[in-house]
Amino acid sequence: MIDRICISINNKCNLKCTYCHFHEKDFVKNEDMDVIKILTNVKEYAKRTFKIGFVGNGEPFLDFKLLRKYLEYIEDNEFIKTYTITNGTIPITPKDIEFLEEHRVNVGFSLDGYKDLHNVNRCNTFDVVMENIEKYKTFTGHYPTFNATVGKKTLENLHRVIDFFKPFGAKITFSRMIGFKGITLEEYRMFINEAEKHLQIRKGLLDCTMYGGKCGAGKNNYFFTNKKVYYCGNCIDLSPVDDSSVSLFELEKISLNFNRDYCYKESL
């Protein structure tokens, strides 16, 4: 049973973060994809809670009008829950934020931690991201959730990172940095075990080991980008599973057997 997908709505980004595996693999390119067809397929398929993340391979707020159109298209489906993640550098209006609130979209801001730590990989954007986070809080009355990537420097400064996030009182998804600057799954799990003693953390279930869960590749989640479907955002350099127009009933027939406590991609 598939219960979540991620969709890259635009494949473009205004940043070039040093650890971005989409840039690393030269994957941020602009190929139009029929997102309405994907959403139609989800509406036909979803008969219980189904999560759509408008994330991955790009910055969704660069195309807010598109995002709005897609959210309006699925608003009549009671089972679909949505979230998006922004790099926090794109100014959005109070009207846009109100729209996201009305549509109960969980908005996550990518923020790696205190200024130096964030800036080292995320193009010196700390100040503007913090400014937009405060604006979001002013408009909504609450902080957004956060998405922080955990690399070697985070491990070395574990308690400084924890102390940075504590005052927000918001939920944080810590994701494991992969690629040439990455850390091992064991290092990541050690970090999570300590961080969850002090912070509200979102841990994946059957989803992805990069977020503290089990690997859902080829089982319950898929990633749509560049007119194709992949097992996940990290699997974009493997052959695509199918075209993005494929029905979810077809995708459901796929089965991969491996130890889901570990990352499928890394087990190849």
Binding site for ligand SF4 (CB under 6 A): 13, 15-17, 20, 22-23, 58-59, 87, 208-210, 215-217, 231-232, 234-235, 263-265
The helix (H) or strand (E) run that includes residue 176 is strand 172-176
Q: How far is the CB of 78 from ligand SF4 (least distance, A)?
A: 27
Q: How far is the CB of 97 from ligand SF4 (least distance, A)?
A: 19
User: How many CB atoms within 10 Å of residue 43?
Assistant: 15
Q: How far is the CB of 159 from ligand SF4 (least distance, A)?
A: 25
> CA 268, CA 215: separation in Å to the nearest integer?
13
Q: How far is the CB of 62 from ligand SF4 (least distance, A)?
A: 10
CB closer to ligand SF4, 41 vs 209: 209
CB closer to ligand SF4, 74 vs 204: 204
CB closer to ligand SF4, 74 vs 240: 240
Q: How far is the CB of 246 from ligand SF4 (least distance, A)?
A: 18
CB closer to ligand SF4, 70 vs 109: 109
The C-alpha R_g of the chain, in whole angstroms, comes to: 18
Residue 52 CB contacts under 8 Å (≥ 6 apart), including other chains = 4, 5, 6, 7, 39, 42, 74, 80, 81, 82, 83
CB closer to ligand SF4, 4 vs 74: 4
| Inter-residue contact 265 to 234 (CB < 8 Å) | yes
Q: Which amino acid is at 135?
A: K
